[in-house]
Structure 1
């Protein structure tokens, strides 16, 4: 089987580490295990972090990177790197303790050591946890984090406790290494792991993003199946999805920004398959000349496949969400109770 033709620009947007991450994700547990076993803990952490943030990788890119395994990946539309898929992959090739340490490093606040990470945790969250600890333990912890962060945490503690902690920090002499290691291990296994779990994304958000990327018929089929099994989850996913029809709720200024940034050929294809209300909303946001050109393009296309129109509409939705993420447009009428302001 010949490898798919990949344009240089398609691969250029992936760094070397991202390509390695896609490769390891595609290899999976069976073929990837011998490679993971050869990596150092720092290398595993760095590669795992990359996989967790990888997102969607087009099948053509995966096949290009893994042409010798094309029989295994040819049927994949995409790979999706996430925290959960990374954790499942690691659990198959290393101990539970090592996996937990790596995932905490990925999910937790940035920093190379536990004390760096604690210095990046909200002072309110840290103070809430420390209120239930012995004053001597609190003193050891605050002695190890950045002074400016320790000051903010002390300000959040009850006055009597903070005064006791300050006195213990003043009187504190050399702290045995074993004590520091024990405190660090407790923080890692209790506070940081709980913080990581609390920071996990709502899985409904992930499903909504996946459904947004499906073609219309696949989306309807899978949503119907989800409706049967869990109507509450299906409703939650629907509320999080942003569809092409939702573009009809955009304010005129947002539509104009979307039109300016859209590929005109793809815009014409998307509007050809749109209902009359959305089509008029977009055309009315253009200059008379631009609207005339779009109408001419739609007419010149002749009959087109519904799937092509849906793909163009999906790309327009992705562009709208990208503009929303950058704060260039507001998604949905802000006067609505369902407004999604980015």
Structure 2
């Protein structure tokens, strides 16, 4: 997950948690240790979340906020709050397993409580997890999140299972606190922690996305240079990149969904520069009449500039990624283990 950088220009823009976060960063690990030990888990999570997303705080702003510590702070220069620096700081005075739990949660979806966080998890992701749980457990979860979000999750569940969940919700009376606590604990330890780890951005994944947006010549040039200096990294980036030809790994339903979302002029230009196999695959998923018209349009185009082909193919790849992020299609590489999730 990419760190949010917030530049704070004036003290009056600071919220209470931001002021507290800057204060703790300025104190440093040793001086702040006794204060951290006095916080409960919820306070540590809230403060850690704020610290991790502060970004760069200029020294002048730190000094204005902490006048009584100006002599010490003025020598530290700017402070940088990030997930990594926050985790290093917490590890100095908290047990590793407790730090892991805190960091996993703040890297996950936004929200103070578990139920608020679940409300910010995409319905297809949440449904994918809940479909393996007991209907009664799912009924409890859906009764605690926003009704509109619960409705979207239900539509993503298998029909028979969803009906069973609805039946349990109709019969459900007030849930005992012990049961609710147990469900919340399970969600926190099994679902949220795994979700937050999935959301962590690997540097090679980030570079693969950047390379995906290069034109073909720039991509080739940078990969060639990288192969000379860091061949293993170059290979990993190439393996993670999702290219236009990878659209050939979509299932028929995915291709048809993509076809409905792509401008037909862009499609023709993109297919002019594709392999015969990929071109035939797209034609096979169109009506006979539509395929015939597209072939005729492509023939009438004549020669097409490589730059225009690259642009059209990049547009299609980006549309495919957007559809995948909404759960409408599934992007995959050579195997299920190497599935790309955007």
Q: d(CA) in 1 for partners of 2:235 and 2:75?
A: 31
Q: Retained in 2: the 8 A contact 1:62–1:73? A: no
Q: CA deviation at 1:232?
A: 1.1
SS in 1 for 2:94: coil
Give the 3 Å change call, closer, same or farther, for CA 62–205 of structure 1 in structure 2.
farther
SS in 2 for 1:73: coil
- Indicate the residue corresponding to 1:232 in structure 2: 233
- Indicate the residue corresponding to 2:179 in structure 1: 179
Structure 1 gaps of 5+ residues are 1-8, 208-223, 237-332
- Indicate the residue corresponding to 1:37 in structure 2: 37
Higher relative contact order (CA 8 A, sep 6+): 2
Structure 2 gaps of 5+ residues are 1-7, 208-224, 238-307, 320-342
Q: d(CA) in 2 for partners of 1:230 and 1:33?
A: 43
SS in 2 for 1:38: coil
Q: d(CA) in 2 for partners of 1:233 and 1:70?
A: 42
SS in 2 for 1:56: strand
Q: Retained in 1: the 8 A contact 2:104–2:196? A: yes
Q: Retained in 2: the 8 A contact 1:53–1:83? A: yes
Q: CA deviation at 1:63?
A: 6.9
Give the 3 Å change call, closer, same or farther, for CA 10–72 of structure 1 in structure 2.
same
- Indicate the residue corresponding to 2:76 in structure 1: 73
Q: CA deviation at 1:190?
A: 0.9
Give the 3 Å change call, closer, same or farther, for CA 147–23 of structure 1 in structure 2.
closer
For normalisation by structure 1, the TM-score amounts to 0.52
TM-align CA RMSD: 4.3
Q: CA deviation at 1:71?
A: 9.1
For normalisation by structure 2, the TM-score amounts to 0.52
Give the 3 Å change call, closer, same or farther, for CA 33–336 of structure 1 in structure 2.
farther
> Mapping of 1:1-342 within 5 angstroms?
11-12=10-11, 15=14, 17-58=17-58, 67-69=70-72, 73=76, 78-96=78-96, 98-203=98-203, 232=233, 335=311
Q: CA deviation at 1:161?
A: 1.0
* Number of residue pairs aligned between Structure 1 and Structure 2: 223
Q: d(CA) in 2 for partners of 1:29 and 1:151?
A: 45
Q: CA deviation at 1:11?
A: 4.9
- Deviations, residues 67-99 of structure 1 (Å, cap 9, x unaligned): 43369736xxx5432112212222322345543
Q: Which moved more, 1:158-167 or 1:140-149?
A: 140-149
Q: Retained in 2: the 8 A contact 1:63–1:73? A: no
Q: Retained in 1: the 8 A contact 2:124–2:153? A: yes
Q: d(CA) in 2 for partners of 1:58 and 1:336?
A: 43
Give the 3 Å change call, closer, same or farther, for CA 150–11 of structure 1 in structure 2.
closer
Give the 3 Å change call, closer, same or farther, for CA 158–44 of structure 1 in structure 2.
same
